[in-house]
């Protein structure tokens, strides 16, 4: 069964692209690039995942996989990447086997990892010294957004590189927007995660309160979802939270990583984030309960 839900694509000239990192996000994102007609070469730390991806997407674009990021990047116009954290990102870009070593001058590296603004600026500078371009482009929309080709992408970097990448990246995006210079994409993603942390905690408390009061929470969510309390979290996670279902992709471990980036940046820029810091500790509680791989809506488990 395919890991993407294929949709209609705006025609764009076929490009040679690479995709590094075939996790729950990267696997379908790379699939959308292949389905849109681009020639895709993939790399994943576990080669078996690359082989499985190639077997799934053998029609049309003739996908290939490489044993190193450098080999994947050779000959690519654009190298996309979605890995775990700053160290993972450095490991696939820098060094003798890194993507930068295989890219030709003028090629563009697009990083969809949620990472620090510092590493984005560091790699932007390293790329520029080699005649390459680097765009930090973290995504929002979760696993479902990746599978449906409907991610929201927040970008930082040079205008020319952004404009060259945008039509290709629309294969897996519903919005692909430049937010400013290098690092601005990562900072925008931090704003996104601050919003989500507060929303999920508020929704968890509301559902726990309603259940304690004996209300039919499915009915309650239907009603309040038509008013000022409506949100993506309520629409997509409210009823599953009420039912105790927490297997929807974006894990607590990853949210804590993201909030750690947020809180570190806040210490530098002086922003006060009392609710975010508190919710981060609530997620630590969920980890202690054995919920490291539960999705972020599992905050409600603390309240039961």
pLDDT surpasses 60 at 240: yes
The pLDDT tens digits of the residues spanning 75-116 come to 999 999 999 999 999 999 999 999 999 999 999 999 999 999
Backbone angles phi, psi at 96, to 5 degrees: -65, -30
Q: What is the pLDDT of residue 5?
A: 79
pLDDT surpasses 70 at 11: no
Q: Does the domain formed by 16-181 have CATH 3.30.360.10? A: no
| Half-sphere exposure (Cβ direction) of 299: Cα atoms closer than 13 Å | 26
* 3 state DSSP class of 2: coil
The CATH architecture annotation of domain 188-303 reads Orthogonal Bundle (1.10)
Same fold, 16-181 and 188-303: no
Indicate if 49 belongs to the active site: no
Q: Torsion over CA of 203, 266, 158 and 8, rounded to 10 degrees?
A: -10
The domain spans of the chain are: 16-181, 188-303
pTM of the model: 0.93
Nearest Cα to Cα of residue 179 among 191, 187, 190, 167 = 187
What percentage of the chain carries pLDDT values higher than 70? Answer: 96
Instruction: Assess contact for 258 and 140: CB atoms under 8 A.
Output: no
Nearest Cα to Cα of residue 69 among 48, 52, 50 = 50
Candidate list 16, 41, 128, 189, residue with the active-site label = 189
Q: What is the pLDDT of residue 13?
A: 83
Q: What is the pLDDT of residue 1?
A: 42
Q: What is the pLDDT of residue 2?
A: 60
The pLDDT tens digits of the residues spanning 245-300 come to 999 878 999 999 999 999 999 999 999 999 999 999 999 999 999 999 999 999 99
């Amino acid at each position: 069964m395919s890991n993407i839900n294929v949709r209609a694509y705006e025609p764009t000239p076929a490009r040679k692209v690479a995709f590094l990192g075939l996790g729950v996000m990267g696997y379908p994102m790379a699939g959308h690039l292949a389905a849109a007609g681009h020639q895709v070469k993939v790399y994943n730390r576990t080669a078996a995942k690359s082989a499985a991806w190639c077997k799934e997407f053998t029609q049309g674009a003739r996908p290939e996989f490489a044993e190193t990021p450098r080999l994947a990047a050779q000959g690519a116009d654009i190298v996309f990447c979605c890995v775990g954290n700053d160290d993972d990102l450095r490991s696939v870009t820098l060094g003798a086997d890194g993507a930068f070593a295989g890219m030709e001058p003028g090629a563009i590296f697009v990083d969809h990892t949620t990472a620090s603004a510092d590493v984005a600026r560091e790699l932007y500078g390293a790329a520029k010294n080699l005649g390459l371009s680097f765009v930090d482009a973290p995504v929002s929309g979760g696993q479902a957004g990746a599978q449906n080709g409907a991610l929201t992408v927040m970008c930082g970097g040079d205008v020319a590189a952004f404009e060259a990448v945008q039509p290709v990246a629309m294969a897996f995006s519903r919005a692909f927007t430049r937010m400013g210079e290098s690092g601005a994409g990562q900072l925008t993603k931090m704003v996104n995660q601050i919003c989500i942390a507060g929303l999920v905690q508020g929704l968890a408390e509301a559902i726990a309160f309603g259940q304690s009061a004996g209300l039919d929470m499915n009915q309650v969510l239907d009603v309040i979802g038509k008013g000022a309390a409506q949100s993506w979290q309520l629409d997509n996670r409210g009823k599953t939270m009420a039912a105790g279902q927490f297997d929807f992709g974006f894990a607590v471990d990853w949210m804590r990583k993201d909030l750690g980036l947020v809180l570190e940046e806040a210490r530098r820029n002086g922003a006060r984030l009392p609710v975010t810091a508190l919710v981060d500790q609530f997620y630590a509680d969920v980890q202690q309960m054995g919920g490291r791989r539960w999705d972020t809506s599992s905050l409600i488990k603390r309240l039961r």
